[in-house]
Chains A and B, each alone.
Chain A
Amino acid sequence: MPLLAIDNVSVSYGKAEAVRDVSLQVEKGQIVTVIGPNGAGKTSLLMAAIGLLRSTGRIIYDGRDISRLETEERIEMGFCLVPERRELFSDLSVYDNLRLGAYSRRAASGEIKDDIAQVFDRFPRLLERRNQMAGTLSGGERQMLALGRALMARPRLLMLDEPSLGLAPLITREIFRIIASLRDLGVSILLVEQNARAALETADFGYVMETGEIVHSGSADALMHDPRLIATYMGGSEVS
């Protein structure tokens, strides 16, 4: 049984359909990526999965239909989203942002302190900035904080929307290294990216989305060597 099954989901803005009959699955422990150009409906798909956008179709998480649940209830089930805009609390400190990341867990403060310490282990840069306001961080640090804050919820399934957006190549590589390492924590990941090559290198399975529909799918390895995709999404010739 997959951890997440998106089943014939459509999202419309008025008459315009942003997502049309999309179905995809994320198995436990997998990193699954959805790649595709700007405007393909990838962000709308994630927003619908977390319940911030209305959609039709079914969203099955851990065997349960969560289509009618509120966003907050989905979060409480360990299903989390790091959105494209990060949505940090700019006037709160790095520490407070992380603390609020665990809001849905209602855990003892000792346990939460341990988890914050673990996030600081993973992102030493955040430890240096722990009392700084989130709004003063650099782009890479903001992404690290968004990831760290999401980890504080102890997610079982984490959706990441364009984690490399606007980041320098060196930091992008660092972020993808961290994403790959989350799999060892037992976190399953649904990763939406325009940076197709980096995403497929990290993922196990991939879907290609164009104008609201899934047009290809396959193992990340197969997609990476698919000549049609190389031409469109990976900028020309295959690198072996």
Chain B
Amino acid sequence: MTPDIAAILALDGIATGAIYVLMALGFVLIFAVTRVVFVPFGDIAAFTALTLAALELGRLPGTVGLVIGLAVLATLMELYSILRAGSYERIPRALLFYLVLPVAIAGLVWITSGTLWPMPFRIALALLLILPVAPLLDRIVYRPIADASVLLLLTVSVALHFALVGLGLLFFGPDGARTESLTDAMFMLGNIPISGQTILIVVAAAIFCGLLYLFFDFTLLGKALHATALNRTGARLMGIRPERSGTIAYLAGSVLAGVSGILIAPVNTIFYDSGFLLGLKAFVGAIIGGLISFPVTAIGSIFVGLLESFASFQSSAFKEVIVFSVLIPVLLWRSYTFQHTEEDMDE
């Protein structure tokens, strides 16, 4: 391996890693607030990519049907629990958030899908359409079991992932898709070529990390989310609704999943079931951060990207094996350090 090749691999690894950073931050965000390991995160990224691909071809994306179906189901469940509790004054709000808004977005995409819009508009539409999916899944699947153990929530997450893969096949079909590249710009750093796409990915990851930091450290809502993550009972006693914090976490997670899906769509061919592997690699990054720390998660995800890049050069057949083998020592190290923090808390 020459230094030039190493540099190219490193750049490639950083770009892949940056996409994992976005997804891993989503994992940490959702887990911290709701205690759910949101396994379908990768599926949502893949669905965004497929949505964008469909819009590029002037077709109606399968996501429209998915969103409408989920919205109807979530609305029925919400209405049922409202009627049971007898708090009828909550009905208008429930209809607005669970039915009107998601269906309005789906309708907008439906109406506009015949036309070929410029790329930024298509990207905005794809992101907008994917936004309600995770919050609706939260309402349908997780909220009825919000007080369950982390293990049960994880098991349900895995089941939900498989259900979504099935729905993905139903709504998007078996064909893979790759979208137009976001930019064709090319830069030379010495004699190492850097694509505009790479720069875009890294910049997007940096921007979203920055936004998350600003959100959590400088806004009341961010602090309320942090408070929910730290102490649910304490948060409720301040009038902070954990369900609402959860919805916001899922919305923010959807943005992260959507952006990573859009960034990866021009680089990799995405199928309806591509999300799992993407998500799993990002999850390794999140695990390195202990599902708690945002900065360590970011570093861990870049590390996974680099490892994948160099591993695929050395022996591409073993690329996944090498990446996931790293998880074992990391888990050992994590379980060792985790016990220590628990002891500290008891003191």
Contacts and interface: CB of A to CB of B under 8 A. Distances in A.
Contacts of A101: 238
Contact of B237 (A50, A68, A90, A92): A50
A153 B230 contact: no
A137 to B, nearest CB: 14
A88 B226 CA distance: 12
B240 to A, nearest CB: 6
B255 to A, nearest CB: 24
Given A68-B87, A90-B230, A52 B236 contact: yes
Given A103-B224, A103-B238, A68 B86 contact: yes
Interface stretch (A32-40, A70-78, A192-200): A70-78
Contact of B233 (A70, A76, A87, A90): A87
A94 to B, nearest CB: 13
Contacts of A116: none
B237 A89 contact: no
A69 B241 CA distance: 13
Nearest to A74: B239
A89 B227 contact: yes
Contacts of B224: 100, 103
B85 interface: yes
Interface residues of A, number: 27
Contact of A80 (B85, B87, B237, B241): B237
A152 to B, nearest CB: 9
B233 A52 contact: yes
B213 to A, nearest CB: 15
A101 B224 CA distance: 10
B231 A87 contact: yes
Most buried by A among B85, B87, B234, B240: B234
A77 to B, nearest CB: 10
B85 to A, nearest CB: 7
A89 B231 contact: yes
Given A68-B85, A68-B87, A103-B220, A89 B226 contact: yes
Contacts of A81: 237
B223 interface: yes
Contacts of A87: 231, 233-234, 237
Contacts of B241: 70, 72
Contacts of B86: 68
Contacts of B231: 87-90
A99 B223 CA distance: 9
A101 B21 CA distance: 33
A75 B234 CA distance: 12
A104 B239 contact: yes
A179 B347 CA distance: 29
A83 interface: yes
B149 to A, nearest CB: 19
Interface in A77-116: 80-81, 83, 85, 87-92, 96, 99-101, 103-104
Interface in B203-226: 220, 223-224, 226
Nearest to A134: B230
Interface in B233-261: 233-241
B243 to A, nearest CB: 10
Contact of B239 (A89, A90, A99, A103): A103
Contacts of A100: 220, 223-224, 227, 235, 238, 240
B239 A83 contact: no
A104 B240 CA distance: 7
Interface string B73-94: 0000000000001110000000
A80 B87 CA distance: 22
A72 B230 contact: no
Interface string A25-58: 0000000000000000000000000101000000
A92 B223 contact: yes
A90 B241 CA distance: 19
A126 B241 CA distance: 27
A190 B215 CA distance: 37
Interface in B293-336: none
Interface of A: 50, 52, 68-72, 75-76, 80-81, 83, 85, 87-92, 96, 99-101, 103-104, 149, 153
The 3 closest A-B pairs by CB, nearest first: A104-B239, A87-B234, A75-B239
Interface of B: 85-87, 220, 223-224, 226-227, 230-231, 233-241
23 contacts: A69-B87, A72-B236, A72-B239, A76-B239, A83-B237, A87-B231, A87-B233, A88-B231, A88-B234, A89-B226, A89-B227, A90-B230, A92-B223, A92-B230, A96-B223, A99-B223, A100-B223, A100-B224, A100-B235, A100-B238, A103-B238, A149-B238, A153-B239
Given A91-B226, A92-B226, 17 more contacts: A50-B237, A52-B236, A68-B85, A68-B87, A70-B241, A71-B236, A72-B239, A72-B240, A75-B239, A81-B237, A85-B233, A87-B233, A89-B234, A90-B230, A90-B231, A99-B223, A153-B238
